[in-house]
Amino acid sequence: MAFLDRFRNPNLTFLAHPHPHSPDKPILKVEGLTVEYDSGAALENLTFELQRGERLAVVGPNGAGKSTLFKVIAGVLRPSRGLVEVAGHEPGGHICIAYVPQRTQVDWSFPATVADVVMMGRTGKLGLLRWPTHHDWQLVQQALDTVRLLDLADRQIQQLSGGQQQRMFIARALAQEAELILMDEPLTGLDSRAQEELFSVLELLHSQGVTVMVALHDLKIAGERFDRVMLLNRRLVGIGLAETVLNPVQLVDAYGSHLRLLPVVDGTLALGDSCCDEGEHDHA
């Protein structure tokens, strides 16, 4: 079966073309990125870099292009112009990027257990025509243990709570051996306890040197829980420490009419419309 073995080697199949990493390069480098849909520009001329192990919060109003940005970085969507490099190479060849979808975009009635979904993350490493081995199931168990879902491994995915569903996708990213995890509004619809559990898992990822990029609506959480904040509204309004980025001028710039600034005794009070915290929004 030498023929089959050659076919099975993931490095040689048409399935995966893993690029070598250049460890001296930033994990993510974006330059002049522009994405245009028929309806107009979704992202305009974005330039930024992300270092290994960093935690970046991406905030901005609905339709700011957060999901679009994530999909381009994941290599799902082709940019109209500009450059995206993951560890020094084009994202097209990487399977080290994991995308955690918004909960509303997942078919939760799909006939799969939690372990099945996490095992999907192994597919890239397995290659074509190869079935999961004992080693793969062990990695799945480890990943589930890391996100504290091991006792729910055999549940159908619909039976999980919102926070557990998010952690399941993080486990899938771990099984994928992802180095850059993109999470699209993972906090939407979670109560504060579930959010806390999610952050303790993110803390663990941070300690393991995994880079995370998280789209959020909550500016307070963005400032408190992340190393840097990106303020996005089709173009890059600002990126850096929360104190500098989330200033009134830039917030009005990003949120525009959705935000009212009121001068109060000890500074400025920003009132945002709360539409964005309810969830169930579809983002372009």
What gap in Å lies between CA 98 and CA 212, rounded to an integer?
Answer: 10
Cβ proximity to another protein, 17 vs 220, nearer residue: 17
Cβ proximity to another protein, 142 vs 156, nearer residue: 156
- 214-243 binders of another protein (CB under 8 A): none
Counting contacts by CB under 8 A, is residue 76 touching another protein? yes
Counting contacts by CB under 8 A, is residue 15 touching another protein? yes
- Applying CB under 8 A, the span of 56-64, 118-126, 210-218, 264-272 interacting with another protein comes to 118-126
- 184-203 binders of another protein (CB under 8 A): none
- Applying CB under 8 A, the span of 25-33, 107-115, 217-225, 228-236 interacting with another protein comes to 107-115
Counting contacts by CB under 8 A, is residue 99 touching another protein? yes
Counting contacts by CB under 8 A, is residue 107 touching another protein? yes
Counting contacts by CB under 8 A, is residue 128 touching another protein? yes
Counting contacts by CB under 8 A, is residue 72 touching another protein? no
Counting contacts by CB under 8 A, is residue 35 touching another protein? no
Counting contacts by CB under 8 A, is residue 124 touching another protein? yes
